[in-house]
Amino acid sequence: MTRAEEPALSYEDGARTIFLYTGGTEGKPPERLRQLARYMEHSTGENAQTAGLARLHEIVTEVKADREVGLAYMKAFEVEKRIRDEGRAEGKAEAVMALLEEIGLVSEDLEKRLREQKDQDILRKWLKLAARVNSVEEFERQAGLIRAAGE
């Protein structure tokens, strides 16, 4: 059995978590800690003022130069951006529905079409439109969402 499988087991491995606010001005942190904070804010060779920071800077530079790490970072960044964008789209669609529900009944079909829309510009236009119209039908007509008979 590994430790991960026994949550009540104490690790007692000496590991500690430290939250470091690099922009703080309170107290009198040791010079080494101030140097580390400066390097963390601006990871440049000029800010690597100790042997330890110089070694850290070498590692950072190597990792940044590693094409695979760069690609993995970019992929992670793109995934996070897509998740944020999807969240924004979902929020806008919810806002459109909330406005429309104030003035009438939102059909399941319209709700589905609102939720399926991912284009931020279209959703932004729909949100503004939903705030102006007097009926759900008027919104559907002006948004171009009226389905022809037989669709």
How many other CB atoms are there within 10 angstroms of residue 41's CB atom?
Answer: 11
Greatest Cα pair distance, the chain, in angstroms, is: 75
Per-residue pLDDT tens digits for 67-102: 777 777 778 778 888 888 888 889 999 999 999 999
Instruction: Compute CA distances 75 → 68, 69, 123, 146, whole Å.
Output: 10, 10, 26, 38
Q: What is the pLDDT of residue 9?
A: 63
What pLDDT score does 40 carry? Answer: 86
The 10s digit of each residue's pLDDT in 125-140 is: 999 999 999 999 999 9
Report yes or no: 11 and 2 within 8 Å, Cβ to Cβ.
no
More confident residue, 132 or 59: 132
Query: If residue 68 lies in a helix (H) or strand (E), which one and from where to where?
Result: helix 67-103
